[in-house]
A and B are shown apart, each in its own frame.
Chain A
Amino acid sequence: MYEGLMLTSQNDVDFMIHGLFSYNFFGQELWITTSHVYLLIVVISLIIFFIVGGLVFRKADKIPGTFQNILEIIVEFLDGIVKGSMGRNGDGFRNYIGVLFIFILFSNISGLFGLRPPTADYGVTLPLGIITFMLIHINQFRFNSLGSIWKDMTSPLPPWLPIWLPINIISEIAVPISLSLRLFANVLSGTVMMALVYGLLKWIAMGWPAALHAYFDLFSGAIQTYVFCMLTMTYINNAIGEREDVQEEAKA
C-alpha cells in the first residue's frame, strides 16, 4: 500500500494529505488524494451500516433486539436534538441533520482506526459549510417576503438607509467560512497532535496514546459534530423563524 496512507505507520512526523495519482480534467491536472480514499472508506462503511439497519427495521420486533435497540436510541437522539432546537420548523430537516451528524461523527472518529480523518481536509468541510449556507438562504427566501429580507439586511438602521448592508452581507458570508474552519481546525489540531506523538516518540508511544485518542478523536470529535449540527439548525431556524412573527403580526 502507498506509504503515508496510514497515519501511524511512519517513522517520521507526517500528517499531510498525499496525492495518490493524478488525472487530466479538461486540461487541468487534478489529484486523487488520500482524503478521497478515507472519505470513500467512511461512506462505504456508513452505507453498509445503513443497509444492515434498514434490513433490521424491515422485520422489526415489538421487543427490540440489541442492534435494533441501538438504532432506535440513535434515531431518537437525533430527532430529539432537531426537535429541541428547531421546534416544529424542524420536521423537514430531520433527515439532513441526522445524516450530517452521523457522517461528521464517523469522519472524526475514523482517526481511532488509524485513518487520517477526512474532515481534517478543508475540501471536505467547506462543502458542508456551503450546504448550510445554501439551506439558510433558500429557506429565508422560501418563508420570508422580499421586503422583510431587505429590512433584515439593513437591520440596525431603517430600510431606506442601507449603510449597514455591506457589513451584514459580510457577516452572512462569514457564516459558512467560520463553520467549516472551526470543524477543520479542530480535527486538524487533533491529527497533528497524534502525528507528533507517534512520529517523535516512536517506540515509546505504545498503548498510552489511547488516552489521547479518546480525547482528540472521541470527545473533541463528538463535541465538534454536535456544535456543527447545532449551529446549522440554529441558523436555519433563525432564517425560517421570522415567518411566524410576520404571520402573527398579520393576524393581530
Chain B
Amino acid sequence: MAIQYDIEVDARGLQCPMPIVNARKTFQELQSGQTLRVLATDPGSVNDFKGWANMVADAELLAQETTEIDGKTVYVHYIRKK
C-alpha cells in the first residue's frame, strides 16, 4: 500500500493548473528512477495527472489514491521519472 517516494509536492488548496505546474518544477529536478508524490485537493487533478503523464515522455504515473487528511479529501499522485 505504502508507495516509496523521494520528494513530495504539496499542492493542497491550489486550483488548476497549479498542481501540474508545481509538479513539473520538482519533477524536472528528479533523477531517473526517483518518484514524486503530489498531494492535491483539486478533484480535477486525478484526470490532470493522467493526461500530464501521457504528455511528458519520461513520466510514469505509478498510482493515484484518495485519502483524508485533516478532514479534507486529498488526491495523492505518485509519478516516477523513467
Bound pair: A and B?
no
Residues in chain B within 8 A of chain A (CB atoms): none
